[in-house]
Amino acid sequence: MPIVTDFDYTLTTIDVGDALCDRFAPPEWHAIDDRWQRGEVSLPAAQREIWSLLRATAAAVRDFVATTARLRPGVPEFFRACRERALPVYVGSGGFDFYLEPLLEPHRPALAGLYCSRGVFHGDRLALQFLTGLECPSCAVCKGRLCDLARAAHPGERLVFLGDGASDRCAIGHADLVLAVRGSQLAERCAAHGRQPFATFDDFFEVMRLGGLG
């Protein structure tokens, strides 16, 4: 059973990218994000504008992530259960390697793949490098295309997708079961879709029960 999961506010208790922007960018970044949420620009286009406003060194960002970002309760147990059962876990995110990789490093043995964009620091400025091959007109890393990639690698198996936000909507219709963060945009979109089997969760102990891993 392949599992495809988003990162920000799915595996984590906060949206780490948003928290970084709140800390190190001026408030104008919210207006740019609103344009992406309304579908007026693609996520990469919005991110180029948003992250150009950021003023922080790699060390400042690393320290902020280490003291602020936390995985949801049950995530370590979830990764351990997947590894013990040889269930492949694919992490896909519109976020960036400089904060995903440190938080996921203890759990890398459980991951079949990690797909995200890159950020390279030059002093207190950040240059973005977007992943190619899994993008779509809206997303930097399309969760629907990632689900298709995971399904192709494990044909005939049930596929579960975990997510929360607007960048996860492309997974609807590409997974056998969607597990959405309770109260999230993804949960609302699944309910409106009407044909996508889904359930909601607050922590990964619930995810394990819903996915038959408990």
Segment 34-53, tens digit of pLDDT = 999 998 999 999 999 999 99
Count of beta carbons in the 10 Å neighbourhood of residue 66: 11
Say yes or no to pLDDT of 167 above 90. no
Residue 46 backbone phi and psi in degrees, to 5: -65, -40
Q: Looking at the domain 3-16+71-116+131-210, which fold is it?
A: Rossmann fold (3.40.50)
- Per-domain boundaries in the chain: 3-16+71-116+131-210, 17-67
Q: Which of these, 201, 138, 143, lies nearest to 172 by C-alpha position?
A: 143
Q: How confident is the model at residue 116 (pLDDT cuts 50, 70, 90)?
A: very high
**What's the number of CA atoms in the CB half-sphere (13 Å) around residue 68?**
19
Q: Is residue 70 predicted with pLDDT exceeding 80?
A: yes
Segment 136-154, tens digit of pLDDT: 989 999 999 999 999 999 9
Q: What is the mean pLDDT of the chain?
A: 95
Mean pLDDT of the region 161-176: 94
